[in-house]
């Protein structure tokens, strides 16, 4: 086929057209003072038991906001599977919501795209000041030294949820504090018809959260101080191996769990008594919804090694939580800031966190007795004392996807009877590391 000259020229000309028409997304600075009567678009994350449930929880609060300020809010609740992609798509296209929930671990990646409004000192003052927030949660808002890309609204940490009734029946008097005790107890609880632990082993997010914690305990880290990926290290390999061994060596996890990828199945197994333990964030509310009797719900910090290896840190959880951010392109900057102020106000913090079973991210909300029950205090203690923020590097979201996927794959191997060795884990981590571009 020979395109004649005219055709070639025509095609070339037509290519130039869209390139000329498009430009970089320009940041529109917020329009002045007219904020009352504005309408905000808000993408909320799925914190409740279903998208509908979130709508029911949030709508009355948003109505309160409209009553106070005259600003209307269009709510869309986005499932977790879609949220990161939607946020990044909005970043590319310049078309997105005004305010959005993000997983706090995404803060650095989102910060690097430059699409979010930085919370500089002026903005932080406008919402009530930086000192109101929990220090731990504030550390997970972007790269250290730069203004936060988003502010925390719900704070959470992982705990070891255990079934008190089943523990008692097995003769275990208290939840395990060390990994050795954990495995011993788990083996006691595992019978031919019952598994001790359920893992959401097909879920990228759950996998890397646990991997991170175990890696911290081993003294490892996934990024160095300059933000470069350091996945393939002996400490990280040891951490992942320990995790996969629960299924392949200790045999306290049902191999079928390698298929669990929704973010709901492992918890459901625990709630129905199919398993006795699960590592989860802020599960109290969901467990009640799933029908578990509150008396049976026990929570303790995730175990630590009996003796920390050299460089190991006593970390039992990553700093989990949801941050609220403002898109730079928003046409109603003042309205958006007012919304953030509303969501981080003490009354709202109390109401929303009570409903969702998470912890407030502002210190003055803790006086509410709802946040003083034993189970909540365990989590609060973890959050304040033994939680570390996930790496705040711009490659973080890639880390979640790549290493998370690698771990799901390793679990699949373990489940189908293929032994997972240190060498394989190292190879998988190396492959993931190579694909991080930042």
Partner 1 sequence: MPHHGAGEELVVDTIKTKVDSVRAPVSADARVVSGQAPVKPARPRKRRRQWLPYVLLIPAVVMELMIHIIPMLIGVMMSFFKMTQLYLGNWRQAPFAHLDNYRLAMDINQPAGKALLHSFVVTIAFTVLVLVFSWSLGLFAAVLTQRPFRGRGIVRTLLLIPFALPIFASVITWNFMAQRDTGVINHVLVNQLHLTQGNPFWLIGGNSFITITLVVIWRTWPFAFLMMSAGMQSIPADVYEAAVLDGAGIVTQLRRVTLPLLAPVNRVLVLVLFLWTFNDFTTPYTLFGDTTPAQADLISIHIYQNSFGTWNFGTGSAMSVLLLLFLMVVTGFYLVLVNRRTDSA
Partner 2 sequence: MHEPNWFRWTRRVGLFLLMVFTLIPIYVMVSSAVKPLQDVQGVFTWWPSHFTLAPFRDMWTTIPLARYFINSLVVATASSLASVLIALLAAYSISRYRFRGRQTFTVVVLSTQMFPGILFLLPLFVMFVNIGNATGINLYGSRLGLILTFLTFTLPFAIWMLIGYIDSIPRELDEAALVDGNGPLGALFRVVVPAAIPGIVAVAIYAFMTAWGEVLFASVMTDDTTRTLAVGLRGYATQNNVYWNQIMAASLTVSVPIVIGFLLLQRFMVAGMTAGSVK
**Residues at the interface with partner 1 (CB under 8 A):** 1, 11, 14-15, 18-19, 23-25, 81, 85, 88, 91-92, 94, 109, 112-115, 202, 204, 255-256, 258-259, 261, 394, 397-398, 401-402, 405, 408-409, 412-413, 415-416, 418, 427, 430-432, 434-438
Which tokens go with 305?
């090694």
How many alpha carbons fall within 13 Å on the CB side of residue 393?
A: 20
Choose, by CB under 8 A, the member of 31, 256, 264, 384 that binds partner 2: 264
Using CB under 8 A as the binding rule, whether residue 1 contacts partner 2 is answered as: yes
> SS3 for 4?
coil
Choose, by CB under 8 A, the member of 263, 305, 312, 427 that binds partner 2: 263
Where helices occur in 190-344 by DSSP H, the ranges are: 204-218, 234-248, 265-271, 284-289, 333-343
Using CB under 8 A as the binding rule, whether residue 75 contacts partner 2 is answered as: no
Any idea which residue has 């909320």 for tokens?
A: 44
Whether the CB-CB separation of 355 and 288 falls below 8 Å is answered with no
DSSP 226: T
Using CB under 8 A as the binding rule, whether residue 94 contacts partner 2 is answered as: yes
Which tokens go with 235?
């400490």
Distance CA 262, CA 284 (A): 19
Choose, by CB under 8 A, the member of 86, 251, 288, 354 that binds partner 2: 86
Q: What residues from 276 to 295 belong to the interface with partner 2 (CB under 8 A)?
A: 286, 289-290
* Backbone torsion region of residue 129, taken as left when φ is above 0, otherwise alpha when ψ lies between -120 and 50, otherwise beta: left
Closer residue to partner 2 in complex, CB, 85/385: 85
Any idea which residue has 């919304």 for tokens?
A: 339
Using CB under 8 A as the binding rule, whether residue 312 contacts partner 2 is answered as: no
Q: Cβ 265 to partner 1, closest distance in Å? A: 11
Closer residue to partner 2 in complex, CB, 49/384: 49
Measured from the Cβ of residue 377, the count of other Cβ atoms closer than 10 Å reads: 13
Whether the CB-CB separation of 387 and 318 falls below 8 Å is answered with yes
Q: Cβ 268 to partner 2, closest distance in Å? A: 7
Closer residue to partner 2 in complex, CB, 14/310: 14
Helix axes 234-248, 204-218, angle to 10 degrees: 120
Chain length of the chain: 438
Q: Cβ 316 to partner 2, closest distance in Å? A: 26
Q: Cβ 85 to partner 1, closest distance in Å? A: 7
Q: Calculate the alpha carbon distances from 106 to 49, 102, 395 in Å.
A: 22, 7, 9
Using CB under 8 A as the binding rule, whether residue 7 contacts partner 2 is answered as: yes
Choose, by CB under 8 A, the member of 5, 16, 18, 374 that binds partner 2: 18
Q: Which does 413 bind (CB under 5 to 8 A by kind): partner 1, partner 2, none?
A: partner 1
Q: Cβ 199 to partner 2, closest distance in Å? A: 17
Any idea which residue has 């390139």 for tokens?
A: 19
The dihedral formed by the CA atoms of 46, 403, 93 and 109, expressed in degrees to the nearest 10: 90
Measured from the Cβ of residue 384, the count of other Cβ atoms closer than 10 Å reads: 14
DSSP 74: E
Q: Which does 401 bind (CB under 5 to 8 A by kind): partner 1, partner 2, none?
A: partner 1
Q: Cβ 260 to partner 1, closest distance in Å? A: 10
Using CB under 8 A as the binding rule, whether residue 36 contacts partner 2 is answered as: no
Closer residue to partner 2 in complex, CB, 11/135: 11
> SS3 for 46?
coil
Q: Cβ 401 to partner 1, closest distance in Å? A: 6
Choose, by CB under 8 A, the member of 21, 145, 374, 423 that binds partner 2: 21
Q: Which residues bind partner 2 (CB under 8 A)?
A: 1-4, 7, 18, 21-23, 25, 46, 49-50, 76, 78-81, 85-86, 89, 92-95, 262-265, 268, 286, 289-290
């Amino acid at each position: 086929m020979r395109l004649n000259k005219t055709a070639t020229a025509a095609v070339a000309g037509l290519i130039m057209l869209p390139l000329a028409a498009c430009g970089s997304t320009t940041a529109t600075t917020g329009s002045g003072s007219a904020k009352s009567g504005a309408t905000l678009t808000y993408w909320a994350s799925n914190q409740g038991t279903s998208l509908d449930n979130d709508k029911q929880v949030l709508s009355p609060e948003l109505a309160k906001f409209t009553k106070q300020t005259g600003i209307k809010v269009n709510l869309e609740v986005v499932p977790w599977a879609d949220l990161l992609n939607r946020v990044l798509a909005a970043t590319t296209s310049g078309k997105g919501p005004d305010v959005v929930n993000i997983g706090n671990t995404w803060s650095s990646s989102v910060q690097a795209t430059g699409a979010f409004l930085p919370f500089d000192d002026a903005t932080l003052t406008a919402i009530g000041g930086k000192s109101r927030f929990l220090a731990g949660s504030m550390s997970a808002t972007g790269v250290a030294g730069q203004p936060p890309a988003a502010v925390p609204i719900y704070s959470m940490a992982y705990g070891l949820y255990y079934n008190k009734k089943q523990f008692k029946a097995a003769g275990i008097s208290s939840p395990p504090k060390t990994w050795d005790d954990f495995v011993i107890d788990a083996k006691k609880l595992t019978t031919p018809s019952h598994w001790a632990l359920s893992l959401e082993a097909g879920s990228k997010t759950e996998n890397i959260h646990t991997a991170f914690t175990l890696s911290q305990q081993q003294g490892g880290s996934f990024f160095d101080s300059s933000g470069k990926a350091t996945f393939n290290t002996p400490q990280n390999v040891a951490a992942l191996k320990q995790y996969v061994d629960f299924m392949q060596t200790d045999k306290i996890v049902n191999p079928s769990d390698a298929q669990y990828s929704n973010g709901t199945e492992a918890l459901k197994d625990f709630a129905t008594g199919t398993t006795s333990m699960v590592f989860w964030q802020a599960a109290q509310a969901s467990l009640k919804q799933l029908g578990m009797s509150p008396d049976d719900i026990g929570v303790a910090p995730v175990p630590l090694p009996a003796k920390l290896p050299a460089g190991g840190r006593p970390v039992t959880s990553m700093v989990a939580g949801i941050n609220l951010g403002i898109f730079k392109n928003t046409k109603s900057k003042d309205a958006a800031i007012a919304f953030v102020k509303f969501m981080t106000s003490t009354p709202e913090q109390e109401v929303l966190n009570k409903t969702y079973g998470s912890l407030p991210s502002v210190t003055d909300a803790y006086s509410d007795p709802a946040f003083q029950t034993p189970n909540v205090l365990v989590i609060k203690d973890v959050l304040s004392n033994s939680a570390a923020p996930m790496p705040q590097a711009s490659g973080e979201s890639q880390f979640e996807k790549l290493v998370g996927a690698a771990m799901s794959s390793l679990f699949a191997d373990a489940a189908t009877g293929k032994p997972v060795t240190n060498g394989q884990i190292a190879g998988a981590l190396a492959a993931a590391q190579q694909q991080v571009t930042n």
